[in-house]
Structure 1
Amino acid sequence: MSLEERTMLLNELRKVATIDCDPTRRPSRRELLQLAYHHSLPFIGFGFLDNFVMILAGEYIDLTLGAKLGISTMAAAALGNTISDMMGIGSAWYVETLAVRLGAECPPLSKLQMDMFGSRIATNLGRCLGVMLGCLLGMFPLIFISTNETEDTKDNKLPKAEIEKDAG
C-alpha cells in the first residue's frame, strides 16, 4: 500500500470516527447548509454547461440547418438541447471533481440521518438552487447574439404586395 493510499484511508477513517454515535440525532442547521452546498456546486456547473452549449449549438443549428432544411427555431433549440445533454454526460466527472476541489464535501452524517426529511429537503433545495443559478449564468452567450429582428418578423416575412394588400 502506497503512502498516498494510506493517507486516503486514514482520512476516510477519521471521517467515520467523527460521525456522532447517535445516528437518530437530527442534523444541525450547519450540517444541512453544508449538505445543500455540497449538492448545489455540481448542479451550478451542470446548469451552466447545459444552457451555454444549448444556446450556442441551437443558434448555430438555427442559422445553418434551419436555413437550409427549413426547420423551425424550436426544432433547432431541441437539437441544441440534445447536443448539450450529450456534453453534460461527458463532462459530469469533471464538474463533480471541480466541485469537490471547491470544498463541496458532504457533512459526516449517517445513512439514517441522510434519509431524514430535513436532509432530503436540504439536498433537493441545494440541487434546485444550483441548477437555477447555473442556468442563469449559462445564458451569458445571449449577450453576443444579435436580436435585431424579432422571431415573428424573421419567420413571417410577407412580400411587399401582401403587406400593402393587408393594409388597404
Structure 2
Amino acid sequence: MMGFSFTDLTVMLHAGNAIDCTLGVTLGLSTLTAAAMGQFFSNSSGVLFGGALKRLASACGIPSTGLSAAQRSLPIVKRLNLMGALAGVWLGCTLGLCNLFIIDTERSPILKLRAFSEDNEFSYHIEASNADRNDATVLTIRGPNIDGVLASLTSTLAASGFSLVELIAKQTDDGCIEDIFLITKHGVRVPDNELDSLATALLDATRSPLNVYVFKERVQTLEEENMELRSRVQKLEGVVRTRQVDIV
C-alpha cells in the first residue's frame, strides 16, 4: 500500500500541476479542477503499475505473509491487515508530499494572471466628475475583480496628494467591481484641468497588481540564471587552478 499511495500521489501532483499550467491557463480552469483531472492519471497509473509494484517488492526480497485462508479469516489478522494498510497509505502519502519541494506551485497563478491581464488589459473604465458633489470629486472605477486593485488605487491617490473622503465598494452581478471614490485636494474638489491626468494615473494603477506577479516571475528567472552562472564560474575556477598546478 505504501508504494501504491506514493505513486498515486506523485502522479496526481505532477499531472495536476501540468494540467493547471496548460489547460488551466487556456480554459480558465481552477486549481481544484486540475487536481481532479490529475486524479484520472493517478488512478490509471495504479491500475497499470499495480502488478509492477508487487513484482518490485518481490525482487527486493520482501516476503509474502504466507498465511492460509483460515488464518486470513481470523479477526486479529483482519485487524492487523487493516492497520498495516492504513499505515502504508499514510507513509506513502507522506513521502509523496515531498514532490511539493520540486514543483513550482506559484507558476500557475502567475500564468493565469498574465493571461487574464492580456485578455482584460482595456477592461477598466474610469469616470471622474465634479458635477455630482459640491464638496468632493467623484471617481467611479469599473472593471474585473482582481486582488490588489483597490490597494493600488488608494496608494496612487495618497501618493498624488489626494485625500479620500469616502469609499463605496460594490460588486456587480457579473463579478466585476464598481468602486466609487470621493476625494478632495487641499480640502476642495480636484480642479477640472487635473481630472484627465488623475484618471490616467488610476488607469495605470489598475495594472499594478498584475505587474507585481510578472516582476516576481522575472526575478525568479534571474535568480535561476544567476545560480547557473555561479556554477559555471566555480567549474572554470577549478579548471584554472588545476592548470596552474604542476607536479614534478
Check whether TM > 0.5. yes
Per the alignment, do residues 112 and 75 of structure 1 end up closer, same or farther by CA in structure 2, a change over 3 Å counting? same
Give deviations 1:87-115, integer Å, cap 9, x for gaps: 11100111011122333333343322110
The aligned residue for residue 73 of structure 2 is 115
8 Å CA contact retained: 2:13, 2:38: yes
Residue of structure 1 in register with 2:9 after alignment: 51
Matched, 1:160 2:149: yes
For the residues of structure 2 that align with 1:89 and 1:60, how far apart are their CA atoms?
21
Alignment of 1:4-23 (within 5 A): none
Residues in 2 aligned to 1:86 and 1:132: alpha-carbon distance in whole angstroms: 20
Identity in percent: 34
Measured in 1, the distance between the counterparts of 2:148 and 2:96 equals 38
Instruction: Find the counterpart in structure 2 of residue 102 from structure 1.
Output: 60
Contact 2:21 2:107 in 1 (8 A): no
Greater fraction of residues in helix? 1
Gaps of 5+ in 1: 1-42
- Could you tell me the TM-score, scaled by structure 2's length? 0.44
Q: Distance in 1 between matches of 2:78 and 2:5?
A: 20
Letter in 1 for 2:94: L
Structure 2 Cα separation of the partners of residues 100 and 149 of structure 1:
40
Q: Does the residue aligned with 1:157 lie in a helix, a strand or coil?
A: coil
Residue 145 of structure 1, CA deviation: 2.4
Deviation at 1:75, TM superposition (A): 0.5
Displacement of 1:163 in angstroms is: 5.7
Letter matched to residue 90 of structure 1: L
- Aligned position for 1:144: 102
Letter in 1 for 2:83: L
TM-align CA RMSD: 2.8
**How many residues were matched structurally?**
124
What's the secondary structure of 1:119's corresponding residue?
Answer: helix
CA contact (8 A) 2:8 2:42 kept: yes
Given residue 74 of structure 1, which amino acid in structure 2 is its aligned partner? Answer: L
Partner of 2:65, secondary structure, is coil
**Structure 2 residues not aligned, in runs of 5+:** 114-144, 154-166, 170-178, 182-248
- Decide which of 64, 85, 91 is 1:133's aligned counterpart: 91
CA offsets, 1:59-100, max 9 Å, x none?
010011011001111100000111111011100111011122
If the length of structure 1 is used for normalisation, what is the TM-score? 0.63
Does structure 1 retain, via aligned residues, the 8 Å contact 2:25–2:108? no
Higher relative contact order (CA 8 A, sep 6+): 1
Quote the Cα distance in structure 2 between the aligned partners of 1:144 and 1:125: 31
Higher gyration radius (CA): 2
State how far apart, in whole Å, the 1-side matches of 2:66 and 2:32 are: 45
Describe the SS at the equivalent of 2:146.
coil
Q: Give the ranges of 4+ consecutive aligned residues of structure 1 lying more than 6 Å apart after TM superposition.
A: none
Residue correspondence of structure 1 range 69-84 to structure 2 within 5 A: 69-84=27-42
Give the whole-Å Cα distance in 1 for the aligned partners of 2:89 and 2:36. Answer: 19
Aligned-pair CA distance for 1:162? 7.5
- 1:132 is displaced (CA, Å) by 1.2
